[in-house]
Amino acid sequence: MRVVFRCDASIQIGTGHVMRCLTLADALAKKGAECCFICREHEGHLLEVIRKRGHQVYSLPFKADVEKTDRNGAKLSHANWLGATQQEDAQQCIDIIKLIEPDWLIVDHYAIDIVWEKTLRPYCKKLMVIDDLADRAHDCDILLDQTFGRHIKDYLDWIPDNCQVLCGSKYALLRPEFAKWRDYSLERRKDGMLKHLLINLGGVDKDNITSKILKGLQNSFLPECCKITVVMGSTAPWIESVKAQAKVLPWKTQVKRGVNNMAELMANSDLAIGAAGSTSWERCCLGLPTIMFVLAENQQQIALNLRNANSVFAISLESDLESMIVKAIKYFTDTQSVLEEMSVNASRILDGRGSALVIENMENRYDD
């Protein structure tokens, strides 16, 4: 099977779209598929990361200040994430895809909709869209939305009648090491002690929320024995600022960049401070209690659903961040059972087998 992924990463977009596609590509490759990526050269792209994972990458040039409105006059809310018009992007992709003749074309991009997909349809056998907005029309054979609490009805007005919809966190695309560390992670949480705090605000953290969190922690009542690990992405622009802030904390604090053992770090942490993005599903799989920040509009629903399930302590960026950090830490340290209860609730969200389920559905749909 030949599979082509169209996705991007940048300082503005973040790394989540590329990383979840990479997870699926790695799983497909283990089953013998040939996977390649088409990505635009935005600032903060991950072309080399993809290549190091063993997949071929075709790069598209970035062009600033282009007109983002498509031919039919529609303008997507995330149109400026593409770095081209949909028509320009589609034509550039056609020139590449003609050479590959893929069995599956997989699109994970908020700036692409039915306009682009209809143009590319003749050049692939099947087309899958990965989305979590439910805000625009698609033309695809499978639509995947791994958001906890998402319902098929949210997409009925946006997809063709014959489209198969895979909705919900059970389809979350996690690397296999998360399922591997799950049992160990859940077992070690039963003592309900806070000895290790993990901080990770995604792959970029373009607004340097991490430094603000560290400042807020200075006034909190973390146990003296607690250690702190800060993890940042390889393209994070504020790494030196974070390191400087970490040095003044009274707790042993380590700052790591571009780690490849995130599942192990999460499994050995007792509490996380993180964003409401795709890492939410990694933390849930491992039953890791979380103080969650909503960093983008598209994360609002994720945070709300997880909060309603009592699997996170959610904080809005509109609030007084420093005082809310103090309040959140107090919430987890005042009552010993809180960590264990939240861990159990989070672990019920998913079990880490999403990639296998998605591939199984791809194989079945391909044979239709």
Span 239-252, pLDDT tens digits? 899 999 999 999 99
CATH classification at residue 308: 3.40.50.2000
> In this model, does residue 197 exceed pLDDT 60?
yes
Strands (E), 44-200: 56-60, 104-108, 126-130, 142-145, 164-167, 196-200
How large is the average pLDDT for residues 332-360? 94
Predicted local confidence at residue 74, as pLDDT: 62
**306-317: pLDDT as tens digits:** 999 999 999 887
Task: Examine the domain organization and report whether 60 and 203 are in the same domain.
Answer: no
Task: Examine the domain organization and report whether 19 and 152 are in the same domain.
Answer: yes
* Structure tokens that stand for 190 in this block: 């039963």
How large is the average pLDDT for residues 199-213? 88
Predicted local confidence at residue 203, as pLDDT: 75
What is the pTM (predicted TM-score) of this model? 0.88
In the block, residue with structure tokens 């605000």? 201
How large is the average pLDDT for residues 70-76? 61
> In this model, does residue 336 exceed pLDDT 80?
no
Answer for the pair 60, 92: CB distance below 8 angstroms, yes or no: yes
Task: Examine the domain organization and report whether 214 and 327 are in the same domain.
Answer: yes
CATH classification at residue 90: 3.40.50.11190
Task: Examine the domain organization and report whether 235 and 157 are in the same domain.
Answer: no
> In this model, does residue 172 exceed pLDDT 70?
yes
**80-108: pLDDT as tens digits:** 899 999 999 999 999 999 999 999 999 99
Task: Examine the domain organization and report whether 130 and 235 are in the same domain.
Answer: no
Task: Examine the domain organization and report whether 212 and 340 are in the same domain.
Answer: yes
How large is the average pLDDT for residues 32-56? 96
Predicted local confidence at residue 368, as pLDDT: 76
Predicted local confidence at residue 62, as pLDDT: 86
Average pLDDT score, the chain: 92
| Predicted confidence band of residue 339 (pLDDT cuts 50, 70, 90) | very high
Task: Examine the domain organization and report whether 29 and 100 are in the same domain.
Answer: yes
Q: Which residue has the higher pLDDT, 120 or 77?
A: 120
Task: Examine the domain organization and report whether 40 and 141 are in the same domain.
Answer: yes
Predicted local confidence at residue 68, as pLDDT: 52
Predicted local confidence at residue 70, as pLDDT: 53
**18-31: pLDDT as tens digits:** 999 999 999 999 99
Q: Which residue has the higher pLDDT, 192 or 114?
A: 114
- List the domain range (segments joined by +) for residue 191: 176-347
- 119 C-beta neighbours (distance < 10 Å), count: 17
Please give the Cα distance from 368 to 362 (Å, whole number): 10
Strands (E), 33-141: 34-40, 56-60, 104-108, 126-130
Task: Examine the domain organization and report whether 160 and 266 are in the same domain.
Answer: no
Predicted local confidence at residue 295, as pLDDT: 79
Predicted local confidence at residue 163, as pLDDT: 97
